[in-house]
Amino acid sequence: MQAYLADLDCELQLKPPELEIEETGDTFAANACLKASQVAKVTGQWAIADDSGLQVDALGGAPGIYSARYGSTDGNRIERLLQELGNEQNRAAQFVCAVAIARPDGEIALQAEGICKGEILLAPCGVGGFGYDPIFYVPQQQLTFAQMEPEIKQRCSHRGKAFAQLLPRLSDLA
């Protein structure tokens, strides 16, 4: 997140390590708000949090909010997703990122959501990134997230699009 806020006069700090936040929301936005609100309440400071994941059309939106828990490692998650898709022709998918900013009292001050549409490849391609990046192909870039230079991914990704919506609105928070 710090990279997206580089032009601002702020330095992000990680949440207190002893603070465990259970993601009980049923949407990315609900989980982002939950995390931002709880961190703000505990620290008494402004807090920003995000939640993101992959939604695959042919799997009814799965893995969705369970993207990180779809397997024990990135390799397991990719393997499971590819196995569940099998020979499915419709490989349309999207990455979604919700970002929330909470006031020191925990009230949500701003929210934004970014979506990057793409498709799931039959096999991994590229070595960069993490998670599902090697199988998520972005037709507009003709690359997977794992093949993209960081600057390109930062601009066209779901997280990049969420922050592009959020940044112009930060001045409203005074």
- DSSP-derived secondary structure letter, 22: -
Give the integer Cα–Cα distance in Å for 174 and 167: 14
Cβ(127)–Cβ(113) below 8 Å: no
Three-class secondary structure of residue 85 per DSSP:
helix
Which position has the token pair 């930060």? 170
Other C-beta atoms within 10 Å of 75: how many?
A: 11
Half-sphere exposure of residue 6: CA atoms within 13 angstroms, side-chain side: 4
Q: Which helix (H) or strand (E) holds 53?
A: strand 47-56
Select from 152, 155, 148, 160 the least CA-distant residue to 114.
Answer: 160
Give the integer Cα–Cα distance in Å for 109 and 152: 29
Catalytic position from the list 7, 26, 51, 133: 51
Annotation marks residue 51 as catalytic: yes
Residues annotated as catalytic (active site), given as ranges: 51
